[in-house]
Amino acid sequence: MSSETQKILSTDGIPLEESLKKAEKKNKIKAFLLVSPLLLFLIITYIVPIADMFSRSIDDKMVTNMLPKTYKAMEQWDGKELPPEEVFEAFYLDYKILVKNKTAGKLQTQLNYEKNGFKSVLKKLARKQKKFEEGNYKEQIMKVHKRWRNVEYWRAIKRRAPAYTYSKYLKGVDMYSNEDGKIVQVAEDRRIHRILWSRTLEVAFFVTLFCFLMAYPIAHLLATLPMKYSNLLMICVLLPFWTSLLVRTASWMILLQQQGIVNDFFVWIGLVADDNRPEMMYNKTGTYVAMTQILLPFMVLPLYSVMKTISPSLMRAGKSLGATPAVAFFKVYFPLTIPGIGAGCLLVFILAIGYYITPALVGGASGTLISNQIAYHMKSTLDWSFASAMGLMLLTGVLVIYWIYNKLVGVDNIKLG
């Protein structure tokens, strides 16, 4: 026998290694084909539209498309002094078309964002431009309004030249780029978005904390009770979990109203006077209470599934070695439940940070969150690019948490019920 190892052949004469590889590849393709319908479906209807939100959020072609000749003429202009005659002529020609098509209003609004007071200047030009004579447009335009002599207004037009902008993202954190192109904060009394962001984080944090504090004892009880009792108690957790979100919000609206049962109870035990019932709904209190109850099952279930696996003999061993129950709990039991705590907290936090329905119904003005602002811009102001920008900022935050969650817990370890 030679020392060379002979290649093992399968029955059809092909080397085993090769035919194994072939089979492996076939299996891979088979597995991938099974996943592909859903994957393709999600990519087309979900992932690509989300990515599309990005292009929508930075899209600023509106002004660019309205003044094509002006921007072409402006390419040569350095922006230090008043632009040359060609720019004036190009602007006149562009603007004439806009007035004729009755779309000048959009340009007026857009440029007014750039420079306050631009609207009236443009409106005046729209009225006067009909009488313009051919040639020497610079003189004629500057005669209409003296502000046309101010180079600031021309710079404002030039600033809108790029077809893409990140201004919506700046607006989302209450900033804007001023006339000199520097990024500055908006006036103090107009910083509404930053309040919303911090409130969203605050609500999500405290709801997570409350959920944790409430879920830990009952998850422990569920995990340690004998099966027949714990199954019954588990229904108390699962029934709210399966019940419609709107039904649960409605029940909180009934409970928390001024003549509601909670207030009745407070009056009855003498905590508050009958004529001085506190407002518990349409503010942050309502949001906290309702969201905590609604998200509590999402904390209980992961905690329970981890606690179920901890053997009670570990605590007994700790105690038999001289630990007091408190020490045994903090040194033995608590560290073992940390995976469950991580899973539950991250899940609740992710859900809370994007909550929409409950804050909109019981939150009032002081209890609304960033999601409500996104919905507001989608439905009322129709500023879809701003809604997209805010949505993506929120999404980035959530994806970071999701990524951490995936690292710590693994998405395939999510348990339901």
Partner 1 sequence: MALPKYTEPHYRIWHYFYLFVCGCVFFFLIAPLFVIFPLSFNAEEFLVFTDGMKRLDPDAFSTRWYKDMVYGTKNPWGLAAKNSFIIAIFATIGSIILGTLAALGLSSRHMPYKGLIMATLISPMIVPLIISGVAIFFFMAKVGLAATHLGIILAHIILGTPFVVITVTATLSGFDHSITRAASSLGSNPFNTFMKITLPLILPGVISGGLFAFVTSFDEVVVVLFLAGLDNTTIPIQMWTGLREQLSPTILAVATCLIVLSVLILLTAELLRRRSERLRGINR
Residue closer to partner 1 by CB (options 53, 336) is 53
Residue closer to partner 1 by CB (options 246, 408) is 246
Minimum CB–partner distance for residue 321 and partner 1 (Å): 18
Distance CA(95)–CA(89), nearest Å, equals 10
Tokens of 302: 């992961």
Residue closer to partner 1 by CB (options 70, 293) is 293
Tokens of 361: 């119904």
Per-residue x/- track, 327-356, partner 1 (CB under 8 A): -----------------------x--xxxx
Positions 195 through 234 that interact with partner 1 (CB under 8 A): 214-215, 217-218, 221, 224-225, 233
- Single residue of 252, 282, 349, 386 touching partner 1 by CB under 8 A: 252
Per-residue x/- track, 385-414, partner 1 (CB under 8 A): --xx--xx-xx--x---x---x----xx-x
Minimum CB–partner distance for residue 409 and partner 1 (Å): 12
Minimum CB–partner distance for residue 16 and partner 1 (Å): 18
Distance CA(118)–CA(132), nearest Å, equals 20
Distance CA(49)–CA(44), nearest Å, equals 7
Positions 42 through 71 that interact with partner 1 (CB under 8 A): 42-43, 45-50, 52-53, 56
Minimum CB–partner distance for residue 146 and partner 1 (Å): 44
- Single residue of 76, 136, 198, 243 touching partner 1 by CB under 8 A: 243
Distance CA(384)–CA(257), nearest Å, equals 35
- Single residue of 8, 38, 321, 382 touching partner 1 by CB under 8 A: 38
Per-residue x/- track, 283-302, partner 1 (CB under 8 A): ----------x--xx-----
Minimum CB–partner distance for residue 312 and partner 1 (Å): 11
- Residues 315, 317, 322, CA angle at the centre, nearest 5°? 100
Minimum CB–partner distance for residue 272 and partner 1 (Å): 17
Q: Which residues pair with 177 in a beta bridge?
A: 183
Q: Which amino acid, residue 398?
A: V
Minimum CB–partner distance for residue 77 and partner 1 (Å): 37
User: Should residue 255 be labelled a site residue for partner 1 when binding is judged by CB under 8 A?
Assistant: yes
User: Should residue 188 be labelled a site residue for partner 1 when binding is judged by CB under 8 A?
Assistant: no
Residue closer to partner 1 by CB (options 344, 391) is 391
Residue closer to partner 1 by CB (options 141, 332) is 332
Minimum CB–partner distance for residue 5 and partner 1 (Å): 27
User: Should residue 239 be labelled a site residue for partner 1 when binding is judged by CB under 8 A?
Assistant: yes
Per-residue x/- track, 302-331, partner 1 (CB under 8 A): -----------------------x------
Contacts of 373-380 with CB under 8 Å at 24 or more apart are: 373/193, 373/196
User: Should residue 28 be labelled a site residue for partner 1 when binding is judged by CB under 8 A?
Assistant: yes
User: Should residue 268 be labelled a site residue for partner 1 when binding is judged by CB under 8 A?
Assistant: no
